[in-house]
Amino acid sequence: MSDPSSSVTDPAHLALLDGIREGKRVALARAISVIENERPGFQALLHDLLTRGRSGGARLGITGPPGAGKSSLVSEIARRWREGEEGVGIVAVDPTSPYSGGALLGDRIRMNDLALDEGIFIRSMASRGSLGGLATTTKEVLDVMDAFGFPRLLVETVGVGQTELEITGAADTVVVVLVPESGDGIQAMKAGLMEIADIFVVNKSDRPGADRLVKEVRSALHYRTGRTGRTPAHHGVDHSRVGGGAEETEEQEEDTGWVPPVVQTMAQTGDGVDELLEAVAKHRQWLDETGELERRRRRRTLERIRDVLDRELKRRVRRELSTDDDLQDELDRIDAGDATAYSVAASILGRIALDPETAPLPGIDR
Amino acid sequence: MSEGERKIRVLVAKPGLDGHDRGAKVIASSFRDAGFEVIYTGLHQTPEMIVNAAIQEDVDVVAMSVLSGAHMTLFPRVRRLLDEAGADDILLTGGGIIPEDDVRALGEQGVGRLFGPGTPTGEAIAYVREWHREKTGAANAG
């Protein structure tokens, strides 16, 4: 059954690959764990899965402050996509406690409607100390779901801070969810969220302050997009300006390309979710037509190469210095004035780089 | 996280129609504070929902809280569905008001330890840790 040309040698991993080929969800789930835990051989497993082909599925990222309704929105979006018979893979990230290392992953509570749908696969991930809103391997987990054959992928960030910018490296389209309670529109500008949003959602839009927030986000967008010196329209960013007719597209090209629309939703009832999906589709069309999708994906791949290298080097340094005892002699030399932290680091780097046994990734041809 | 270290993943599940999820929430928080990754899915779960979640999340342990008296149906059903899905290595444990005889009978059907009301949470944590150590120890040896 197994492909003799595969780079994977671990028999357990070969069994997982067979299982994934047969569409077994247990195999998918366990392959995800191998990758999430960066168990030995995980690089070869990923390499094999990615060379087998990808669906190139559309990746939608949802981010925003705690309690904004991200999970409910994810659930509503997935349900609508399923009406079109398309399989949906979902990754939801929640924070790891820095004190205990444990995590309470509760995003599934809002996704119970999807619990029995065979076309949906939900995986919760703990952030495990990673900053930036995702777990270290969330992007890889999305790749595995893609390779399994889900044409649509949804990823939801931790939702605790204002620096959840990793999502731009994981998704083609980023939706930033705000609620009237999450403060005024200016807060969104401070947070750096203005820069990453392809689409804004004002959720819980039946609550007081929703209309004001919509106006504020729109005018904040004007400040950003006003750099061409054009006078903004009187009534804020009109939804119809986005991906409209031919002349408009031309006008946008010399303008800013894409003006993030602001969509009002009530995730609890599903109101506005169809409009949100229309905006997502328009953004996708814009990505395709302008070549921006290709550019974004190449940029992501570039980041991935750097990530893989960063992590691999860290892993090797950790292995080289698995205990503090390894450094006692060097500490003595530093104390005696014969070395510095920099000269010690330089010699360790030399050792790691020169070791021919550990230089390549296990099981992967260069 | 260091290489080869494994986080223990636990699904805390509340099946059936009773709405008393305090016990489930207490144990979920205690597991989190013990360093486990806990997936909590909320109230009113069916055995099928529980097993689906357990498979997708690739948990090591399913911990069910059953206070409705339906334990003789719910535990064996979840155990059977897990086995059928190819996840016979997942530990099924739990708690609730369950008579000794029933605990024994469920044990014979492949259900792990069941904890009664008032059990210190540390006991359940120690049990899960010990089970996991034995399981991963065996896996590493084989």
CB count within 10 Å of CB A66 equals 12
CB contact under 8 A, A103 and B37: yes
Residue-level pLDDT at B138:
66
CATH 3.40.50.280, applies to B9-135: yes
- Same domain flag for A91 and A193: yes
Spatial distance between the Cα atoms of A171 and A60, rounded to a whole number of angstroms: 5
Both tokens of A356, joined, read 């021919």
* Domain final position from A35, A52, A69: A52
- Same domain flag for A3 and A151: no
Beta pairing partners, B37:
A103, B9
Short-list B9, B3, B18, CA closest to B132: B9
A9 Cα distance to chain centroid: 29
User: What single string gives the DSSP state of each residue in A189-217?
Assistant: HHTTHHHH-SEEEE-STTSTTHHHHHHHH
Give chain B positions within 8 Å (CB) of A103: 32, 37-38
CB contact under 8 A, B49 and A40: no
Element (H, E) at A183: none
Shortest alpha-carbon distance between residue B56 and chain A (Å): 5
Is residue A42 within 8 Å of A63, Cβ to Cβ? no
Residue-level pLDDT at A347:
87
Please list, in sequence order, all residues whose beta carbon lies within 8 angstroms of the beta carbon of residue A125, skipping any fewer than 6 positions away: A36, A91, A92, A93, A94, A105, A134, A135, A137, A138, A141
Give chain B positions within 8 Å (CB) of A106: 39-40, 42
Spatial distance between the Cα atoms of A142 and A140, rounded to a whole number of angstroms: 5
CA distances from A200 to A177, A215, A276, A284, B129 (A): 6, 12, 9, 15, 44
From first to last of its 366 residues, chain A has per-residue pLDDT tens of: 445 456 788 999 999 999 999 999 999 999 999 999 999 899 999 999 988 877 778 899 999 888 899 999 999 999 999 998 889 999 999 999 999 999 999 999 999 989 899 999 999 999 998 888 999 999 999 999 999 999 999 999 998 666 678 899 999 999 999 998 876 556 656 667 778 899 999 999 999 989 988 988 888 887 766 544 333 344 334 444 444 444 444 334 444 589 999 999 999 899 999 999 999 999 999 999 999 999 999 999 999 999 999 988 888 888 888 776 778 888 999 999 999 999 998 888 888 776 655 556 766 766
- Same domain flag for A208 and A273: yes
Whether the predicted interface score ipTM is above 0.90 = yes
Residues 170-229 of A with CB under 8 A from B: none
CB contact under 8 A, B7 and A318: no
- Same domain flag for A37 and A59: no
* Residues shown for chain A: 366
- The structure's pTM equals 0.87
Please list, in sequence order, all residues whose beta carbon lies within 8 angstroms of the beta carbon of residue A121, skipping any fewer than 6 positions away: A25, A28, A87, A88, A89, A90, A145, A148, A150, B56
Domain boundary assignment for chain B: 9-135
Is residue A63 within 8 Å of A159, Cβ to Cβ? yes
The total of structural domains in chain A comes to 2
The DSSP bridge pattern shows strands A120-126 and A103-105 to be unpaired
Q: What is the tens place of the pLDDT at every residue in A65-113?
A: 888 999 999 999 999 999 988 899 999 999 999 999 999 999 999 999 8
Structural domain includes residue A312: no
* Domain final position from A290, A316, A339: A290
Is residue A261 within 8 Å of A279, Cβ to Cβ? yes
Beta pairing partners, A125:
A93
Residues 10-69 of B with CB under 8 A from A: 28-29, 31-42, 45-46, 48-49, 52-53, 55-58
Spatial distance between the Cα atoms of A216 and A35, rounded to a whole number of angstroms: 42
Shortest alpha-carbon distance between residue B57 and chain A (Å): 5
CB count within 10 Å of CB A317 equals 13
- Same domain flag for A131 and A155: yes
User: What are the backbone angles phi and psi of residue B66, rounded to the nearest 5°?
Assistant: -125, 115
Both tokens of A7, joined, read 């780079």
Straight-line distance from the first to the last Cα atom of chain B, in angstroms, rounded to the nearest whole number: 24
Straight-line distance from the first to the last Cα atom of chain A, in angstroms, rounded to the nearest whole number: 25
Both tokens of B132, joined, read 């996991």
- Same domain flag for A79 and A21: no
The minimal CB distance from A108 to the residues B5, B36, B53 is found for B53
Give chain A positions within 8 Å (CB) of B6: 37
> Nearest residue of A to residue B35 by CA position?
A102
Shortest alpha-carbon distance between residue A76 and chain B (Å): 17
User: What are the backbone angles phi and psi of residue B109, rounded to the nearest 5°?
Assistant: -95, 15
The minimal CB distance from A102 to the residues B34, B41, B52 is found for B34
Angle between helix A138-148 and A292-320 (nearest 10) = 120
Both tokens of B84, joined, read 């059928």
Spatial distance between the Cα atoms of B74 and B23, rounded to a whole number of angstroms: 17
- Same domain flag for A134 and A170: yes
- Sites in chain B below the pLDDT cut of 50: 1-4, 142
Structural domain includes residue A366: no
Short-list B36, B12, B58, CA closest to B126: B36
CB contact under 8 A, B35 and A100: yes
- Same domain flag for A38 and A113: no
DSSP strands (E only) in A133-279: 152-156, 173-178, 199-202, 262-264
The DSSP bridge pattern shows strands B61-66 and B9-13 to be parallel
Q: Exposed (0-12), middle (13-18) or buried (19+): which is A124, by Cβ within 10 Å?
A: buried
The DSSP bridge pattern shows strands A199-202 and A120-126 to be unpaired
Spatial distance between the Cα atoms of A41 and A48, rounded to a whole number of angstroms: 11
- Same domain flag for A40 and A61: no
Shortest alpha-carbon distance between residue A318 and chain B (Å): 8
Structural domain includes residue A265: yes
Spatial distance between the Cα atoms of A160 and B16, rounded to a whole number of angstroms: 32
Residues 98-127 of A with CB under 8 A from B: 100-106, 108-109, 112, 115-116, 121-124, 126
CB contact under 8 A, B57 and A30: no
Enclosing domain of residue A184:
54-290
The CA-CA-CA angle for residues A24, A28, A29, to 5°, reads: 115
- Same domain flag for A24 and A131: no
CB contact under 8 A, A26 and B31: no
Structural domain includes residue A43: yes
The minimal CB distance from B58 to the residues A24, A30, A39 is found for A30
Residues 63-92 of B with CB under 8 A from A: 85-87
The minimal CB distance from A37 to the residues B6, B29, B49 is found for B6
Structural domain includes residue A352: no
> Which residue is associated with the tokens 């996991």?
B132
Give chain B positions within 8 Å (CB) of A112: 41-42, 45, 49
Shortest alpha-carbon distance between residue B100 and chain A (Å): 31
> Nearest residue of A to residue B37 by CA position?
A103
Give chain A positions within 8 Å (CB) of B58: 29-30, 32-33
Beta pairing partners, B115:
B95
* A152: CATH: 3.40.50.300
- Same domain flag for A172 and A252: yes
- Taking each continuous run of H as one helix and of E as one strand, the counts in chain B are 5, 5
* Domain final position from A230, A256, A290: A290
Q: Count of alpha carbons within 13 Å of A41, Cβ hemisphere only?
A: 16
- Same domain flag for A246 and A97: yes
